[in-house]
């Protein structure tokens, strides 16, 4: 063949010839420190409770949660994000277990800190949806709508009890206007300037949360479209980002991850703070279900999905595969 232009002198396939070659020139690498493990702890159970919609994931007992935290440390991951599931009869309209120092989430924070100390970042979900009898992320007004400013008062209390319990990082996830500023003020008022805020800056009203509702025993009636973002909107995410940074967010997050890689990339390009992404329950369950049927290669699909999230700009990834993948990477 006559040689002209760049071909056949330039052949990109030369850099794909062997596994070692591909590894050497890889532009994106996963590392155990990239990962944060979301974990659920359920009050009043004596054995871990499997979550049927999330094969391989459980609602932990206090003891099994401590074991999971120790395994996470051994695997080298960076953090664990805790979600508390109170007994059903303890839920009420105000989400009282969320501010009770002896509520299951606060107890779990203390347990994990006692187990792993500072070897793992203990992160706490700061939201009311697990603790309210109506399942919304805030308190309701007389007309049944989520009352933004009344909810902020509850978030301030939650931030303080979670910090007192030992959380290194709080994760306000309710998408209330002004939540980051209120939480920062509440923490500073009790001298906890050291507690960081991971802002759920971009959180869409997604269909992919379905399995999570089982995981937290959600009592949700209706939907969350009046406070979580519309999947059709992109510029809105940058507005939320600017507000959260102005209010004092230390880190920001995009949730879900996979369906919103374009948003993740825009956020990552726009900021100079760490960016996280949450690979949510539906993303997890789709891969597990397809793999169970033999339609896809499970391990390859997991790694490909996580690599795509990091390639789009996530410095840290919340994923239910965190410990498993970290163990394989090590």
Q: Which residues are catalytic?
A: 203, 255
Q: What does the alpha-carbon distance between residue 311 and residue 303 come to, in Å, rounded to a whole number?
A: 12
- Separation in Å, CA 275 to CA 123, 247, 263, 269, 318: 15, 16, 12, 10, 11
- Separation in Å, CA 225 to CA 128, 154, 175, 207: 16, 21, 11, 11
Q: Name, in order, each residue with C-beta under 8 angstroms of 54's C-beta and a sequence gap of 6 or more.
A: 211, 214, 215, 281, 284, 285, 288, 320
Strands 251-255, 196-203: pairing is parallel
DSSP state of 108: H
10 Å CB burial of residue 279 (0-12, 13-18, 19+) is buried
């Amino acid at each position: 063949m006559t040689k002209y232009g760049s071909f056949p002198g330039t052949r990109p396939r030369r850099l794909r010839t062997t596994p070692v070659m591909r590894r050497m020139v890889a532009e994106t690498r996963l590392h155990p420190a990239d990962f944060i493990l979301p974990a659920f702890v359920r009050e009043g159970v004596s054995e871990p409770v499997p979550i049927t919609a999330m094969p391989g994931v459980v609602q932990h007992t206090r003891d099994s949660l401590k074991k999971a935290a120790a395994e996470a440390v051994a695997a080298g991951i960076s953090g664990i994000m805790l979600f508390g599931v109170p007994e059903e009869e303890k839920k009420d309209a105000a989400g009282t277990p969320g501010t009770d120092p002896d509520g299951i989430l606060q107890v779990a924070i203390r347990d994990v800190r006692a187990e792993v100390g500072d070897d793992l970042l203990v992160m706490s979900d700061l939201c009311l949806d697990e603790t309210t009898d109506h399942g919304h992320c805030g308190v309701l007004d007389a007309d049944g709508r989520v009352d933004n400013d009344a909810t902020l008062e509850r978030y301030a209390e939650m931030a303080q009890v979670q910090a007192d319990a030992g959380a290194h990082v709080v994760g306000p996830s309710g998408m209330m206007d002004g939540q980051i500023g209120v939480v920062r003020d509440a923490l500073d008022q009790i001298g906890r300037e050291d507690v960081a805020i991971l802002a759920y800056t971009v959180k869409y009203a997604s269909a992919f949360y379905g399995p999570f509702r089982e995981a937290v025993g959600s009592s949700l009636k209706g939907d969350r479209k009046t406070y979580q973002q519309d999947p059709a909107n992109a510029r809105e995410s940058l507005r939320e980002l600017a507000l959260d940074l102005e209010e004092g967010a230390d880190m920001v997050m995009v949730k879900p991850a996979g369906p919103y890689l374009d948003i993740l990339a825009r956020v990552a390009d726009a900021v100079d703070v760490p960016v996280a992404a949450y690979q949510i329950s539906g993303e997890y369950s789709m891969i597990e279900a397809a793999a169970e049927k033999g339609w896809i290669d499970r391990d390859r699909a997991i790694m490909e999905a996580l690599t795509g999230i990091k390639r789009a700009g996530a410095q840290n990834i919340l994923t239910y595969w965190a410990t498993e993948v970290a163990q394989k990477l090590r």
